[in-house]
Amino acid sequence: MSPVRSAGEVLEAIQKVKAGATAFRTNFFPVQSKLESWVAHDELTTETRDNVTFFVRKDRDFAHLYFCAASPSAFGGEIGQLSVIRTHKLAIDIVGPEASLTELLSLAEQGGFRRYSRLVRLARVASPITPTFVPAAPGINVAIKGDAPEILALIEGSFDRFADQLPTLYEIEAAIAARQILIIRQNEQIAALVFFETQGLTSTIRYWLVAAPFHSHGLGSTLIRHYFSSQPAVRRFILWVTATNQNAIQKYQHYGYAPDGLVDHVLVSEPVTS
Amino acid sequence: MKTVPEILKEIRPEFDFTASNDFINDGMLDSFDMMTLVSALDKNYGISIQGTDIVPENFKNLQTIEALLRQSGAKP
């Protein structure tokens, strides 16, 4: 594995694979800003093998594995040969419509990964409405920079590091600077938060949580309603949720979300210890 | 053969792609949609869009997508 020094290197690596591709497959869909941020923080390494380029992104005590493969068989032939699979715990996301994933899932399992979690994407289409003044909601505030460590601790304590793409402190600080984290404080601590990313007509909820001592007080509901009303230009609201988390799915369905057909199988590998 | 707006409409039916000049900044296409679109365009036009061309600038609007198709050997 060698470090990725620029976003352009990634595109060139993808190009090399795609040039001879018969059935190009990938799980690597980074937006430019995220890619540049990973490169700037030295989080990304790469290895090109026969008709496949792998990318590894460091995250806490493990790493995410991404691939661009000329075909599923090229992916299957090389994934088990990666040296990093023997030295690091890895998580790989296989994303797409469920019916299209069978072969890649089987090949990843043959390469040493085991199924860990399955997420589904939910979407909510909003009617176009005229932007209006959003009244301040009592108790709801936009997070400030000093809140970042507390927000990170809450997210790490509430979500799964392998499946939920947990943010780093610098990502949280960037989201705060973009006014994309809303919080409710009670008893001098953050009782609830919603962390979202809005890009034009689409808004993605990354994390919505109520801290355990504050459950069943209506804080989550207050927060998400305020979030919707604060995004009048958005036409499509999306999020990923663990498929077995029926409690969360029912809450989202209550607010009009429904599965849009995309699923994300998360598989993990254990390093070889001998 | 489907037109580019028809393909886009299949991918994201909730958006009016003829009303935007910047699909990426307007939040109408995300990176996953871009890969889905590349795959659909490759199949529809019998071409192979190069990896180095899969950048947001080429998927900004109908004109840039059609220019990309011409550059890749298709006649949109």
pLDDT in tens, A158-216: 999 999 999 999 999 999 999 999 999 998 999 999 999 999 999 999 999 999 999 99
Q: Does B12 touch chain A (CB under 8 A)?
A: yes
Write the residue in A15, A17, A201 that is nearest to B27 by C-beta: A201
Residue pLDDT, tens place only, A129-139: 555 555 566 78
Please tell me the predicted confidence (pLDDT) of residue A129. 56
Do residues A143 and A181 lie in contact, with contact meaning Cβ atoms separated by under 8 Å? yes
Residue pLDDT, tens place only, B16-37: 999 999 999 999 998 888 888 9
Task: For residues A190 and A148, give the distance between their C-alpha atoms in angstroms, rounded to a whole number.
Answer: 11
Minimum Cα–Cα distance from B38: chain A residue:
A24
* Residuewise pLDDT in 10s, chain B (76 residues): 899 999 999 999 889 999 999 999 999 998 888 888 998 999 999 998 877 788 888 999 999 999 999 999 998 8
Instruction: Provide the shortest C-alpha distance from residue A8 to chain B (in Å).
Output: 9
Those of residues 57-76 in B touching chain A at CB distance below 8 A are: none
Please tell me the predicted confidence (pLDDT) of residue A150. 98
Please tell me the predicted confidence (pLDDT) of residue A272. 67
Q: At residue A115, what are phi and psi to the nearest 5 degrees?
A: -65, 135
Any alpha helices (H) in A178-244, and if so which ranges? 219-229
Mean pLDDT of A245-251: 96
Q: Is the pLDDT of residue A222 over 60?
A: yes
- Please report the sign of the dihedral spanned by the C-alpha atoms of residue A250, residue A251, residue A253, residue A259: negative
Q: Is the pLDDT of residue A147 over 80?
A: yes
How many beta-carbon pairs below 8 A join chains A and B? 62
Task: For residues A214 and A221, give the distance between their C-alpha atoms in angstroms, rounded to a whole number.
Answer: 12
Instruction: Provide the shortest C-alpha distance from residue A180 to chain B (in Å).
Output: 16
Can you tell me which residue has the tokens 């661009």? A68
Cα–Cα nearest to A274, from A86, A67, A125: A86
Q: What is the 3-state secondary structure (H, E, C) of B18-72?
A: HHCCCCCCCCCCCHHHHHHHHHHHHHHHCCCCCHHHCCHHHHCCHHHHHHHHHHC
Q: Which residues in chain B touch residue A234, judged by CB atoms under 8 angstroms apart?
A: 27
Q: How many residues does chain A have?
A: 274
